A and B are shown apart, each in its own frame.
Chain A
Amino acid sequence: GAGVSQTPSNKVTEKGKYVELRCDPISGHTALYWYRQSLGQGPEFLIYFQGTGAADDSGLPNDRFFAVRPEGSVSTLKIQRTERGDSAVYLCASSSDGGAGDTQYFGPGTRLTVL
């Protein structure tokens, strides 16, 4: 079956612009996670959705970052007034119900470059 998909695969933008990154989770998965991976580092947690609601957004670095999941499926990560430090690979993962035993399945990521 289809895995987690993310679009676009690459995004180049200029400092100060607004960007949207999309994640399409595995069908039927209620839990969705966003992580950010900087060069040479492991992924860092940004936000967790259970259904439509953001159950944990403690990893969002500041109020320029926002994410939505209006119908409990596709999620969009939105970054306002991008800065060069936002350049990273943004990873999305989904799991069946977000429980302790669940495997998180990762998408291929969106590489964001802010010039």
Chain B
Amino acid sequence: AQSVTQPDIHITVSEGASLELRCNYSYGATPYLFWYVQSPGQGLQLLLKYFSGDTLVQGIKGFEAEFKRSQSSFNLRKPSVHWSDAAEYFCAVGARDSSYKLIFGSGTRLLVRP
């Protein structure tokens, strides 16, 4: 069965520091992979997605993610964090059935230290 693991429940970084959020997936074939961000009181917003091709994916707000098949990972990165990046981040894999429903990890809460 498909699953997603986000091993870090909380991460705290200083403003201006670099960020990496970890995501590991379990899936037998090439997955569809997504990162969403959820700010308090707001809906989930797509940061980026990977379907095929270049394994380094660029997203909105200066985020990028790298698909590594050998490690079953899709880690999210940002070179310099802003205070407004504080939020909950969810990694998801898209089911390869007729629905393409999303299977989410449990999330990583990012705290930004001034």
Contacts and interface: CB of A to CB of B under 8 A. Distances in A.
Interface of A: 3-4, 33, 35, 40-45, 48, 55-56, 59, 91, 93, 98-109
Contacts of A3: 43
A100 B51 contact: yes
Closest 10 CB pairs of A and B: A42-B104, A56-B99, A106-B44, A106-B43, A48-B99, A45-B101, A108-B43, A43-B104, A42-B106, A42-B90
Contacts of A101: 51
A91 B104 contact: no
B49 A103 contact: yes
B43 A98 contact: no
Interface in B77-112: 90, 92, 94, 96-107
A56 B97 contact: yes
Contacts of B28: none
Interface of A is mostly: loop
Nearest to A40: B106
A44 B96 CA distance: 16
B99 A43 contact: no
A48 B101 contact: yes
B27 interface: no
Given A4-B43, A45-B102, 18 more contacts: A3-B43, A35-B102, A40-B106, A41-B107, A42-B105, A45-B99, A45-B101, A48-B101, A55-B98, A93-B44, A98-B99, A99-B100, A100-B94, A103-B49, A104-B102, A105-B46, A106-B43, A108-B42
A107 B101 CA distance: 16
B101 A59 contact: yes
A101 B100 CA distance: 9
